[in-house]
Amino acid sequence: MALIDPIQTHIDQAVEPDAPAAAPTARNQHILDPGFDLTLRPMRYPQFFDMYKDSIKNTWTVDEIDFSDDLVDLDRKLMPAEKHMVSRLVAFFATGDSIVANNLVLNLYKHINSPEARMFLSRQLYEEALHVQFYLTLLDNYIPDMKEREAAFAAVENIPSIKAKAEFCFKWMDSVDELDAITTRDERRRFVMNLICFATCIEGLFFFAAFAYVYFLRSKGLLNGLADGTNWVFRDESCHMNFALEVVNTVRAEEPELFDDQMEADIRAMLRDAVDCEYLFAADVLADGVPGMSLGDTREYLQYVADTRLHLLGYNSEFGSKNPFSFMELQDVQGLSNFFERTVSSYQTGISGEVGFDEDF
């Protein structure tokens, strides 16, 4: 069975864990060495330049998304419990990508010393702004009342389940916020933990959980405009995770001594906390009872996602869970377009017959 996202990463574990890091030369040899390397030739990390070029192929705009059918669904088709689900989703979306963008600017761009990687991060920052525009347009269409809209933007302050997620994000991101350069082993470990949290917990769990609610509604033929935009965001976020995990791979190859047993224990604890935090949000989202989506299955799905993130890091499962949501297995084939095809994907309300999966996706 295919993973829920298209990331294909490999972590090289052949390096001895206690091997000393090589001393930097006049030109930085390590991606976390302080400074701003400006030289693109010879290119030290061509994989990041390739990722940058691939991200350009996934260009889209918010103006391409049609919300007109969504407004009919909201007015006539959604049950009260489903409307509550949507209101919580848009409240989370209203600030979630802004938190991610802040981490990009304040932490990641400052410390990842590779001009190729910074090209990708510049593109990612644009995409995060595009996501913010998408969610702003979503709120403007879904919530015409100005007071309700203002409350949604203040969700990190007035909705406990969303506040808890924001506090989880800040806990890990703020740990390196004050550092102008990362020079000690402890500082580098803190930065790597920030990056892993960013990739596996925030973008890789919090947002993918939100996508599951959207694709659940789409499987019922509801809110196709929301699903249309989410599919583009899904592709962006998958690329963002792929990039962040490749940076982790690079650091692991260059400084394997950072990735000791304590690092693995800390990563597992962090993911357990993230699952608990997202489960609190799920209990809020599903508080009114949404037929077809139980809280128990949602917990199983969150644990399954957490396990897939551990696998991408080269670790064994923590939970041993399976994916209970068949609509997430099908999400990437709802439109019959290639992953990087320019045409906006179309969506259908049901699938009959056999569905072919592209293993390269």
Q: Which residues are catalytic?
A: 135
290, β-bridge pairs: 293
Residue of 291, 286, 295, 282 lying closest to 84 (CA atoms)? 286
Query: Which residues, 6 or more positions from 28, have their beta carbon under 8 angstroms from its beta carbon?
Result: 35, 37, 113
Residue of 177, 165, 171, 237 lying closest to 208 (CA atoms)? 237
DSSP helix/strand/coil, 290? strand
Q: List C-alpha distances in Å: 331 to 64, 70, 225, 240, 307.
A: 20, 19, 15, 18, 19
Measure the CA angle with vertex 200, ends 217 and 305; round to 5°: 45
Residue entry with tokens 């924001």: 166
Q: Which amino acid is at 63?
A: D
Q: How far is it, in rounded angstroms, from Cα 358 to Cα 361?
A: 6
End-to-end CA distance of the chain: 13
Q: How far is it, in rounded angstroms, from Cα 181 to Cα 166?
A: 25
